[in-house]
Amino acid sequence: MLAVVGEVALIVIAVVWVRLWLLARAASPRTLAAVAGVPVAAALAWPVGEAAKSVLRVDRPCRLLDGLPAWVECPPAGDWSFPSNHAAVAGALAVTVVVAVRHLRKPIVAILSMLAAGVAAASRVLAGAHFPHDVVVGLLLGGIVAVVSMQMTRRPMESAVAAARSKGRVSLLVGGARGATYER
């Protein structure tokens, strides 16, 4: 059950992102570029966390601590604990959603995404898959990956959105049509 809670929390953030995408299609290229950065950050957070795990090689609490309730199956030996990849992805999703929401002025969405990221991270600790510091560092790592990836992709994404809009291409994805004006 706890493993499902963590996955559902990540799905909640993904659904929030889809809603933001729909809203951002009527916004400026900068805003849509910020929203487009959400899946990029999430996709980068997992391999960055995995690389850190392979270097640090910290075993999981379900293998190290006696008497830990077996709420979920312990991952196999060699599947390291620190940092939590689930928390890294949740942190990346939440931070990029918060940045995107800033442009769209939807604070409740930011709060929902931050709470969902916290639930995803906490569920990994309660399931015995991670120590608390694994998920805290995972959330921070995901947030850093999010900020860096958004900075690196912002201008190219803005240009791509503006070009697609000016040519009337893929309007289902980027919104608008030639000559349309967008709110900031």
DSSP code, position 80: -
E-assigned strands of 20-177?
none
Highest-confidence range of 46-50, 70-74, 121-125, 141-145, by mean pLDDT?
141-145
- Asked if residue 21 lies in contact with residue 109, where contact means CB atoms within 8 angstroms, the answer is no
Please list, residue by residue across 141-154, b when 16 or more beta carbons sit within 10 angstroms of its beta carbon and e when fewer do. Answer: bbbbbbbebbeebb
What distance in Å separates the CA atoms of residue 4 and residue 6, rounded to the nearest whole number?
A: 5
pLDDT tens track for 74-86:
777 777 878 888 8
pLDDT tens track for 81-124:
788 888 888 888 888 888 877 777 778 888 888 888 888 888 88
pLDDT at residue 29 tops 90? no
Averaged pLDDT score across all residues of the chain: 79
Banded pLDDT at 144 (limits 50, 70, 90): very high
Banded pLDDT at 50 (limits 50, 70, 90): confident
pLDDT computed for residue 140 by the predictor: 93
Reported as type and span, the H/E element at residue 98 is helix 85-104
- Asked if residue 36 lies in contact with residue 161, where contact means CB atoms within 8 angstroms, the answer is yes
Banded pLDDT at 141 (limits 50, 70, 90): very high
44-58, 86-100, 107-121, 155-169: the lowest-pLDDT one: 155-169
pLDDT computed for residue 182 by the predictor: 46
